[in-house]
């Protein structure tokens, strides 16, 4: 723990030194942000406010889709804006959290400079050109890195901030069940004691719209089994997060170790991959499956991809499912066979 804490203290001090006196600061989260992305952005904003007297803006593309995430933003009064509502020329410092330049999962214009990157996804070449970057691939959550900064800078962590960070680590690592380190565990345990249980309950048990149940229905109805691999297609969706949600849900099936899900949101195909085996790495696997069709990235057990533009009708989406399934089975060295329905 000590080495990482020393590093966090030094690095956060360098961030503060860099931003002081530069002007307006923009913090970019990834599109359709999840709790980890929002918590990391919120914590960075708080640190800049307390230690540098800077009122930074948090922005992202897409929407906050999942019921739990919407509840988090509402309960904890997290203020965010969309890129469309901003004059980007005004911002003199741009920070990215939980994402990196050119990954395809953020809508920040790729021809603009990014100065600071804080992330836990694999380091990208473009990130190396940024002024300051702290990319810790092993960490379970970006929120853990930001929590270390707050400790390093001796920033008081109040209930609201603690609850946001705790929920981020909880959901990102599935309660320390998926891809976590001792640092995530230490942060999780510290933050648990500072969090508000009523708010946590309201977030975790958030109500969901009626359409959510049709997504379950469609995911189950359209799921096909190829040995221990499951593929499902939601076709047209009105919330991009639902693909990852259904992939997590379907991975619970006995005998299944790979789930690939897809759907189309605003003309883009949204893909989500979930792996329960430690012998397969989700990020690199999805990158090879998607190839030059789109952009993909991820960790060991989870990955996401976008294929843009994904024009066309139902038949085109079905064709995409067929070709991606074939590529997935080939990459995994599994026989390319006809899929069996999950439910009859
Ligand atoms: Mn994350």
Write out the residue range of the structural domain in which residue 44 sits. Answer: 2-204
**How does DSSP classify residue 20?**
T
For ligand 1, a single-atom ion, the residues with CB < 5 A are 36, 98, 142
Output the CA 36–ligand 1 centroid distance in Å. Answer: 5
Output the CA 136–ligand 1 centroid distance in Å. Answer: 11
Q: What is the pLDDT of residues 277-309, one digit of tens each?
A: 889 999 999 999 999 999 999 988 999 999 987
Output the CA 2–ligand 1 centroid distance in Å. Answer: 23
Of 152, 177, 204, which residue sits at a domain end? Answer: 204
228 and 198 in a single domain? The answer is no
CATH number at residue 126: 3.90.1640.10
269 and 195 in a single domain? The answer is no
244 and 190 in a single domain? The answer is no
310 and 167 in a single domain? The answer is no
The number of helix segments (H) and strand segments (E) in the chain equals: 12, 13
* Spatial separation of the C-alpha atoms in residues 127 and 82, rounded to whole Å: 23
111 and 29 in a single domain? The answer is yes
**How does DSSP classify residue 1?**
-
255 and 160 in a single domain? The answer is no
CATH number at residue 249: 3.10.310.40
Residue 160 backbone phi and psi in degrees, to 5: -60, -50
Domains contained in the chain, number: 2
Q: What is the pLDDT of residues 165-221, one digit of tens each?
A: 999 999 999 999 888 999 999 999 999 999 999 999 999 999 988 999 999 999 999
CA distances from 156 to 132, 151, 244, 326 (A): 24, 8, 34, 52
Task: Give the global pTM.
Answer: 0.90
Output the CA 97–ligand 1 centroid distance in Å. Answer: 9
Q: Which residue has the tokens 């992305």?
A: 37
Cα-Cα end-to-end distance for the chain: 51
Output the CA 81–ligand 1 centroid distance in Å. Answer: 19
Any long-range contacts for 306-309 (C-beta under 8 Å, 24+ apart)? 306/104, 306/105, 306/268, 306/269, 306/270, 306/271, 307/268, 307/269, 307/271, 308/104, 308/267, 308/268, 308/269, 309/267, 309/268
């Amino acid at each position: 723990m000590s080495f990482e804490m020393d590093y966090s203290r030094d690095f956060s001090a360098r961030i503060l030194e860099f931003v002081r006196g530069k002007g307006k600061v923009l913090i970019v989260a990834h599109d359709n942000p999840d709790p980890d992305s929002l918590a990391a952005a919120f914590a960075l904003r708080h640190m800049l406010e307390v230690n540098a007297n800077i009122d930074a803006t948090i922005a992202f593309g897409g929407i906050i889709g999942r019921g739990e995430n919407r509840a988090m933003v509402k309960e904890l009064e997290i203020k965010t804006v969309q890129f469309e509502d901003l004059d980007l020329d005004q911002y003199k410092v741009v920070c990215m959290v939980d994402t990196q330049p050119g990954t395809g999962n953020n809508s920040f214009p790729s021809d603009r400079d990014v100065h600071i990157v804080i992330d836990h996804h694999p380091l990208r070449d473009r990130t190396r050109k940024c002024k300051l970057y702290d990319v810790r691939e092993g960490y379970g959550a970006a929120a853990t890195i930001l929590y270390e900064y707050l400790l390093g800078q001796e920033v008081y962590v109040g209930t609201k901030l603690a609850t946001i960070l705790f929920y981020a680590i909880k959901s990102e690592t599935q309660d320390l069940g998926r891809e976590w380190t001792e640092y995530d565990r230490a942060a999780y345990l510290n933050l648990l004691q500072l969090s508000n249980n009523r708010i946590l309950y309201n977030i975790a048990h958030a109500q969901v719209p009626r359409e959510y149940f049709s997504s379950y229905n469609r995911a189950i109805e359209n799921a096909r089994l190829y040995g221990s691999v499951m593929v499902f297609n939601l076709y047209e969706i009105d919330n991009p997060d639902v693909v990852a949600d259904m992939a997590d849900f379907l991975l619970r099936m006995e005998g299944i170790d790979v789930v690939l899900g897809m759907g189309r949101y605003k003309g883009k195909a949204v893909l989500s991959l979930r792996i329960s085996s430690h012998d397969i790495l989700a990020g690199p696997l999805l990158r090879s499956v998607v190839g030059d069709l789109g952009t993909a990235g991820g960790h060991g057990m989870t990955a996401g991809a976008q294929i843009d533009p994904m024009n066309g009708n139902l038949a085109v989406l079905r064709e995409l499912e067929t070709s991606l399934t074939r590529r997935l089975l080939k990459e995994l060295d599994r026989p390319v066979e006809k899929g069996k329905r999950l439910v009859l």
